[in-house]
Amino acid sequence: MDSPVSVKKKWVLTQEALDSLLAHLDADREEAGQKYECIRLKLVKYFEWRGAAYPDVEVDETINRVAHKIESGENIHNLNAYFYGVARRIFAESLRAQEKEQEALKQTFEVEPFVEDEDPDLVERRACFDRCLLCLNEESRSLIVEYYQDEKGRKIERRKTLAVQLGIPLNALRIRAHRIRTGLEACVHECLGQQA
């Protein structure tokens, strides 16, 4: 899954930009490092308290944008306030991206009209699956859709990336996906039983 933060032009934090950011935090390198860690922890809490889907990703993006501004010569008087201003903007962007994702998921999983050539059992099963998928909470729905995307090698890489984004071991991701899938299968089975 791509980062929830929309970035027009991808800028990567360079060592020079990081050094410049640290120099703005404090002239003493060790003090600057401690201040950096403190800001990072506060930003993580900021995003977590607001229910951000990917707090670590959003913190990294916040730091990258501030470092980019400093590197490009922006004169920042109150660096702490500036960090929080950027964090608010990134959180707003993240919410807009989540809304677009939800809308796309709703459109993707709407029940398709019956086509005469299709097997009626398959159409019924797909309709039940779509209904059950929409009953999941957003996090579970996104996880299971992402988990089963792609084929073979790409699927494995996608799952590794997903585990990193969620901050959990790959095995924990497998267990979580298995539980969601088991619940989906039970829901589909129940749905099919009601329609029989």
Summarised one tens digit per residue, pLDDT across range 133-179 is 888 888 888 888 888 887 767 888 888 888 888 888 888 888 888 88
Q: Given a cut of 80, is residue 99 above it in pLDDT?
A: no
SS3 196: coil
For residues 160 and 168, give the distance between their C-alpha atoms in angstroms, rounded to a whole number. Answer: 10
pLDDT in tens, 12-51: 888 888 888 898 888 999 998 999 999 999 999 988 888 8
Q: What is the DSSP string of 110-141?
A: SPPPP-TTS-HHHHHHHHHHHHHHHHS-HHHH
Given this model, what pLDDT does residue 153 score?
Answer: 72
**Whether residues 91 and 145 fall in one domain:** no
CATH number, position 184 = 1.10.10
159 falls within a domain = yes
Whether 117 has a pLDDT exceeding 90, the answer reads no
**One domain, residues 86 and 28:** yes
Task: Name which residue leads in pLDDT, 95 or 43.
Answer: 43
Residues 93 and 167 in one domain: no
pLDDT at residue 86, rounded to an integer: 92
Task: To the nearest 10°, report the CA torsion of 163, 182, 107, 191.
Answer: -170
Do 154 and 94 lie in one domain? The reply is no
Same structural domain, 88 and 37? yes
In a shared domain, residues 76 and 143: no
Could you read off the pLDDT of 59-86 as tens digits, one per residue?
A: 899 999 999 999 888 888 888 899 999 9
pTM of the prediction? 0.50
- b/e string for 6-42 if b means 16 or more Cβ within 10 A? eeeeeeeeeeebbebbbebbeeeeeebeebbeebbee
Q: What six digits make up the tokens of 149?
A: 């995307």
Q: How many CB atoms lie within 10 A of CB 122?
A: 9
Share of the chain above pLDDT 90, in %: 16
**pLDDT value of position 34:** 93
pLDDT band at 6; cut points 50, 70, 90: very low
Q: HSE of 133 in the Cβ direction (CA atoms, 13 Å)?
A: 20
Closest CA to 22 of 70, 57, 56, 61: 70
DSSP percent split of the chain into helix, strand, coil, nearest 5: 75, 0, 25
Same domain for 85 and 113?
Answer: no
Q: Is residue 74 part of a domain?
A: yes
